[in-house]
Structure 1
């Protein structure tokens, strides 16, 4: 059983880097601009997306040490891509290789060991979480004058 249709793997392989390419078109200060003090910047959202991917795939599913990411460590889209690209390549390879046993295996949630999700549920959360935040990034890009193409799944 495949965890995802091929079109999802294609989107996972491309989307973050399409967003980072668009962020390179931002005016000075646009990467860290906040539309309101309590609303995250494009940089903060993108770093959150990277962090969530690492949390769910590396830490929860693969049992690797937890990684914490500070948005300030990424002054530009290029610096974020340097870190994110190899993480995304590992994520896609891992998700492509998930077999039925791994998809069905239940993993405890770090904040509630009694609650468990299957590998497939967690993998789908990674996908839907990214698409949710993609919309936030695209909205901010457009607010700052960047023409945003259709980045839907197909």
Structure 2
């Protein structure tokens, strides 16, 4: 699945732009809830993204016990970057464990208290598109707080 490794490298490159953008924010703006955004603050939105990688790829697919990051664990963008390094490790482990993108993984989803079947490609696609969805929210939240968002798409000009 070399193409998926390469695709994730593009995701990480885009993420670095977002984290750099966030590093220019005041601590107050990084932590303040922004109205009308479901995850609250920029910090908690990005933390949710990180935890989603851990949940779906590690806990669900690899059947590992995971400790999820809590908002009180994170005091800065540097701390958040370390969380994403853990997510990166999980992605590599997931892609190395499941070589066939069509392979079906059965796992337990505690929210619904039942097992579900998902393909490797579907799980991988879910976590990266989920990150991009929330990346857009982070950029909008930053704009609301007075920051001009950079171009953080995969294609940048």
Residue 142 in 1 paired to residue 129 in 2?
Answer: no
* TM-fit CA distance, 1:74: 0.4
How much has 1:97 moved relative to structure 2? 6.1
Q: Hey, what does 2:84 align to over in structure 1?
A: 84
Give the corresponding residue for 2:43: 43
Question: TM-score, with normalisation over the residues of structure 1?
Answer: 0.83
Which residue does the alignment assign to 1:125? 126
Q: Where does structure 1 lack aligned partners over 5 or more consecutive residues?
A: none
Q: TM-score, normalised by structure 2?
A: 0.82
Q: Give the 5 Å matches for 1:2-151.
A: 4=4, 6=6, 8-36=7-35, 39=38, 40-92=40-92, 94-95=94-95, 98-100=98-100, 103-110=102-109, 111-151=112-152
Count residues with an aligned counterpart: 152
Compute the RMSD of aligned alpha carbons. Answer: 2.4
Residues of 1 paired with 2:69 and 2:136: CA distance? Answer: 21
Which runs of 5 or more residues in structure 2 are unaligned? none
Decide whether the 8 Å contact of 2:21 with 2:150 is kept in 1.
no
CA distance in 2, matches of 1:89, 1:146: 31
The ranges of structure 1 where at least 4 consecutive aligned residues each deviate by more than 6 angstroms after the TM superposition are none
Q: Is the 8 A contact 1:3 1:103 kept in 2?
A: no
